[in-house]
Structure 1
Amino acid sequence: MIERQYPTVRPAHAYLFGTCLVDLFVPQAGLDAVRLLEREGLTVHFPRAQSCCGQPAYSSGNPEQAREVARAQLDLFREPWPVVVPSGSCAGMMRHHWPTLFEHDSAAQEKARALAERVYELGEFLLHVLKVQYADECAEGLAQERVVLHTSCAARREMGTRAHGVELVDALPGVMRIEHERESECCGFGGTFALKHPDISGAMVQDKLASACATGCDRLVSADCGCLLNIGHAAAKQGAPLPVEHLASFLWRRTGGKVDDAGESA
């Protein structure tokens, strides 16, 4: 992964690319991502016509379908504002693979490259562009928490998302991050992999779940909703004591963001 250069001037505006999984299954993560950005003084814009990043089709060997998904969104983020993505794997798809999808279409490739340069994973953006300081923002009255992190394989390789999560979580007062033996292993989700190879996927998530639970942690935190859903549903099915939470919601809650009686951020 090539080290990127970050803006030296704080932006006043940003786009949010919500991802299809956030939109359909974990909308609270998207709302909390917006709240984190707005608290830093940004105006957040959400183009309503956005959809999927195209990764499921791309990783399944269907570049034409992925290309059409990406093409439909190239003109949605017209202003030169950062595009913040609450998913390392989706951010990696947009930043590293969208330009290659259009290698035979120079006009579209130029748009894809320009857009890719503005794509940031949420944790990366908070740390390196906004330079947030959470050490003094712990919410009063919160109990101490012991957490384990999970980073999707693509996010770890392409966007360095694990490093962002580690730095953000380690800065939070009252939070202890615990590493476990299988932290670097895949959870078995892998987009369409879980559908094509359910038995293998199921065995992989059981290994991940057992390793995380063995630490005695209070919850698992991840910046990738696919993995979060996979691990969380496996834990619920087994009755395992492992609540899961998206990094955006965890950061919002632990730094003073309001949470309603149902446990949702407000």
Structure 2
Amino acid sequence: MRAVGRCGVLVGVLTVVLCGCSSNSAAQSAPGATQQPSASPVIPSTVGGTVPVPPATLSTSKPTDAAVPPELPEQATAPPPASAGPLTAGNLPTPEKLGAGWKTYTDPGGAEAGFIGNNTWTRRRDPHQASYEALPAGCAGRPVSGSLPIPAYALSGTYRTAEAQPATALLLRFTTPARAQTYFQGYETRMKSCGTGGDLSVNPLWSTDAAAAAVRAYTGAESYVDLSVLHGSTVALLAATSSHPDQQSAWARSVVPTLEGLIDQP
């Protein structure tokens, strides 16, 4: 699941060239002709210096569309909390529920990761940033338009699989089941329309009305099985890196009941 400028100022020197027509020059130099004062060019007071540019104005209205990137990236000035509103580690599966050999993983974060570690395996995410980054990007297939609701809360948990490969679970809690369903359906529509041959290729494995699995493959990078589950007011997105993600269809089906029993608990 994927992560959004500044304006440069060009310093210029204004050169004003005043050219008169030959007939006007003759008239002005003729005996008895009244000399008219020349109009002075308007020269900015900052010639030779930096021309001030008003700062970019950010919208004061609350964002409403998860399909549109946030105006500002998610802040990374302090370790994020381990919970997000009603969402806690208890809403995520324990590693043994996901498979033998699975473990939770405390991500240290860092500059490249874009966040500061909080010494635990769960962390609160900005709901807009998280729900936008989860959508497929770089697809070669037909683009899908349409707005998507932004969740009220977002929480991620990090694991390591039995193969010691990274896995991430993202919970998106919406204010109503209808909004959760709208996001889930929009997410699935985009996944199914992604196609192959782009920076990201998506190969659907199976789908139901409330769950689906697919293989995401990024050019020149790892591939993983992508599981999405809708239950109540919550959407869960589980991505597990695998050397053979196309063989994980049965595993993805097996963990759906576990997710359904946890993700929407208050």
Give yes or no for TM over 0.5. no
| TM class, shorter-length | under 0.3
TM-score (norm 2): 0.27
Bigger radius of gyration, 1 or 2? 2
Which has a greater percent of helix? Answer: 1
Which has a greater percent of strand? Answer: 2
TM-score (norm 1): 0.27
